[in-house]
Amino acid sequence: MNGPDIIFFLVMLFQLVICPYNKVEESFNTQASHDIIFYGPNIGMYDHLEFPGVVPRSFIGPLFLATMSSPFVALFKAIGLSKFASQLLIRLVLGLTVWHAFKRYQAAIGQRYGQNITKWLTIISCTQFHFIFYMTRTLPNTFALVLCLHALAFVIKRNHLSFIFSAACGIIIFRSELAIMMGCYLISELMTKLRVVDAIKYSIPAGFLWIFFTVFIDSYFWRRWVWPEAEVFYFNTFLNKSSGWGTSPFFWYFYSAIPRALATSLFFIPFGFYMESGIRQLFLPAIVYVGFYSFLPHKELRFIIYIFPIFNTVAAVACARFWRSMNQSLFKKILAIWVIAHLALNILFSGLLLYLANINYPGGQAMQILHKIEPRSSPVYVHIDTLSAETGVSRFTELFDNWSYSKKEGIAPNSEEMLGFTHILTEPGVNNEKLRMYNQTHSVMSIIQGHPQLKLDLNAFPWIPIRILTKPAIYILKRNG
């Protein structure tokens, strides 16, 4: 393991520690991992039976994380670590799994284009925020990213059988949209090295194998016959129900998501594309994927996370060439200086994004504070509202066995049932209307800030003219008396 690899791992670890909580998109895989570890075959205790979500998700990812983590969780219990340490552990296991797949991709790039490209690929990736940030997030996209990186490594090495089996696994179990991207690479291979008959010969058994695998395992956990990703595909694509979570313009990935993810490294992609003709076969299918996926109205950056290593590879080609030729002329020396300067700018931008991300989990921070300010022996019965549950609360944050925790929805504020809780985690509501309902019955124990926003402050010139604004997001209330 060389220097850039060590830095890559340390950056991943640092981001994990700075942002230890999970968002709502990660909740299923997080809760499922918890339940497999702590409840085992007692499926009646599992979170998904009470809160199934809009569509079912596969248990295969959580089952892998729980299996790999369980021996260490037992050790954590023996030495007295809190249950929350186990959440960090499963995320670390996922991050290491993605890292292993990324190294397989790096190795394939090194064999095909040279080790110097691999070095710059790693360095560039270290300075960007989103790719490493998502490596430890328990999203279906992150599990799919593992298979995608393996598939890319195999397609670069012309190992078509392994490529098809890896791609099929990612598509059928975790994220069906990978079919667009992997299909582009399959077509590219069919035009060059792969025979149609071989593609069919590999694809049919791969499809049947992974469909059987997911249906067999997930039907056990969901207690009905189910192919989760097929239901997700139908929900998002045919019913277009994902639009209920917001829509974005067609070109949003190109003018917003990709520039934010790549930062100033985006500048080098046209040069890398021009300098290395062989890299175009890797780059063009990724662009086609983004173009096709842009037709879906609901867009999120994580939906295209698979393309970032590819784009960074193209940028790495330019950086390697500029750096290697820096002594040939003054102009090339300036380009080499820009290579280093862009890394510094990336780091500054990533630091800002990481700081904002740290503020973005008020629910998790509220649970941490509650466990600090209330003695463990106290008879606590806490209600967790929707925003808290969506911004960091998970079963891993329920630290004390003698406390009771509830995420029950639909309870009216200040109702008799709500007054049965000793503590409440709640958002203030519009104009603090929710908060005012508890003025006579509860006291505020703590206020957690959230909802970070950037504001340009020109009066701060020549210092950094950016201010980060927050507002109260979660209140910890304690019942009087």
Angle between the 308-324 and 330-359 helix axes, to the nearest 10 degrees?
150
Per-residue pLDDT of the chain (481 residues; tens, 9 = 90+): 788 899 999 999 999 999 999 999 999 999 999 999 999 999 999 999 989 988 999 999 999 999 999 999 999 999 999 999 999 999 999 999 999 999 999 999 999 999 999 999 999 999 999 999 999 999 999 999 999 999 999 999 999 999 999 999 999 999 999 999 999 999 999 988 899 999 999 999 999 999 999 999 999 999 999 999 999 999 988 887 787 788 999 999 999 999 999 999 999 999 999 999 889 999 999 999 999 999 999 999 999 999 999 999 999 999 999 999 888 888 889 999 999 999 999 999 999 999 999 999 999 999 999 999 999 999 999 999 999 999 999 999 999 999 999 999 989 888 899 999 999 999 998 888 889 999 999 999 999 999 998 887 777 666 667 888 999 999 999 999 7
Residue ranges of domains in the chain: 3-356, 362-479
Angle between the 115-127 and 330-359 helix axes, to the nearest 10 degrees?
40
CB 449 within 8 A of CB 390: no
Comparing CA positions, the residue from 219, 9, 201, 212 lying closest to residue 99 is 9
Task: Return the pLDDT at 260.
Answer: 97
CB 435 within 8 A of CB 475: yes
Is omega for the bond preceding 462 within 30 degrees of 0, making it cis?
Answer: yes
Rg (CA), the chain: 24
User: 3-class SS at 315?
Assistant: helix
Task: Return the pLDDT at 135.
Answer: 98
Distance CA 266, CA 261 (A): 9
Instruction: Write down how long the chain is.
Output: 481
The DSSP string of 131-144 is HHHHHTS--HHHHH
Alpha helices in 136-263 (DSSP H): 140-156, 160-169, 178-190, 196-222, 228-233, 252, 258-262
Task: Return the pLDDT at 459.
Answer: 72
In the numeric block, which tokens belong to residue 401?
């066995």
Q: What are phi and psi of 276, to 5 degrees?
A: -125, 100
Contact partners, residue 376, CB within 8 Å, separation at least 6? 400, 402
